Structure 1
Amino acid sequence: MVCNIKQVTKNKKQYLSLLLLGDEQESMIEKYLKSGQLFVLEDNGVKAVCVVTDEGNGICELKNIAVEPNAQRRGYGKRLINFLIAHYSGRFQLMLVGTGDVPSAIKFYKSCGFECSHRLENFFTDNYDHPIVDSGVLLKDMIYLKQKIPNTAA
């Protein structure tokens, strides 16, 4: 698989339709899209996007990752996360990611090297203007996972 991953700094909202797959409320995306770093994975067209924010104290957070539906389960999400870990080496010590309490999502992040960190109770019910359902699960709490970023920068 020959992929090209690039950072996009202008006209980030052109990827909104794909970002909405990872976070279905536009007002929530707008909160982190402006200050976050947007990365796009291309392989004969855009296959995946993600947004990472600087949370301070050596911590970054993967706020959104989304893969085109017809490109899912082909390794694009994992490839993007592996890129981010390498890209942020020497800049951050820890990456966080928050997700709904959905077994398939937690399994995916664990397969990418994340481990469970903590839970924010009622995050989805308190912060979204409508019920969020993922894989048949009504989301209530945000489950955070973490991964240490090795300092491989020379």
Structure 2
Amino acid sequence: MNIIQLTENKKQYLDLLLLADEQESMIDRYLERGELFVLDDNGVKAICVVTDEGNGVCELKNIAVARESQRQGYGKKLINYLATHYSGKYVQMIVGTGDVPSALGFYKSCGFEYSHRIDNFFTDNYDHQIIEDGVLLKDMVYLKWQLK
């Protein structure tokens, strides 16, 4: 398994990025200013984008695991890599997600804890309804993780 950071041609992973953020115009808001990481294990298994939000905070804007590789630990391995990579550079990592038990459970299992929510984020910022695990997304739930 190898994790590398890409600095060019980030849009080549648009199909994967769209698994986690299904509107390209929203991805365009952070992709170029973010750092993109690719987890390769005999092929690309997962990717993520992290942005600098200032004041010692970075944000995990997008993390996606290829459909055929989901539930095999790749997402957690990528997050653990990020925690080590950004330790000392940032004091906190945040992530925003839909108010869906599977997503919240995943992030909490990685060490994140509840921070705050932004009411109507999905309804105000996306041009279509987003349904995840049968739940219509409305609010963005933010979680935080103290980095060492």
- TM-score normalised to the size of structure 2? 1.00
Q: How far, CA to CA, are the matches of 2:143 and 2:70 in structure 1?
A: 21
> Which of 8, 11, 14 is the matching residue for 1:13?
11
| Equivalence for 2:107 | 109
Q: Distance in 1 between matches of 2:39 and 2:20?
A: 15
Alignment partner of 2:97: what SS?
strand
Give the SS at the match of 1:32: coil
Cα RMSD for the two superposed structures: 0.3
Tell me the CA shift for residue 20 of structure 1: 0.2
Matches within 5 A, 1:34-73: 34-73=32-71
Q: Could you state the TM-score of these two structures normalised by the residue count of structure 1? A: 0.96
SS at match of 1:63: strand
Deviation readout 1:4-60 (Å, 9 max, x if unpaired) = 000000000000000000000000000000100000000000000000000000000
Amino acid at match of 2:77: R
Give identity over the alignment, percent.
Answer: 72
Q: Which residue of 2 aligns with 1:85?
A: 83
* Matched residues, number: 148
Superposition deviation, residue 81 in structure 1: 0.2
Who is 1:141 aligned against? 139
SS at match of 1:79: helix
C-alpha distance in structure 1 between counterparts of 2:67 and 2:16, whole Å: 9
Q: 2: CA distance between counterparts of 1:79 and 1:56?
A: 25
* 3-state SS of 1:90 partner: coil
Task: Detail structure 1 runs of 4+ shifted over 4 Å in the superposition.
Answer: none
- Cα distance in 1 for residues equivalent to 2:88 and 2:112: 18
Structure 1 gaps of 5+ residues are none
Letter in 2 for 1:125: T
What residue is the counterpart of 1:4 in the other structure?
2
Given residue 141 of structure 1, which amino acid in structure 2 is its aligned partner?
D
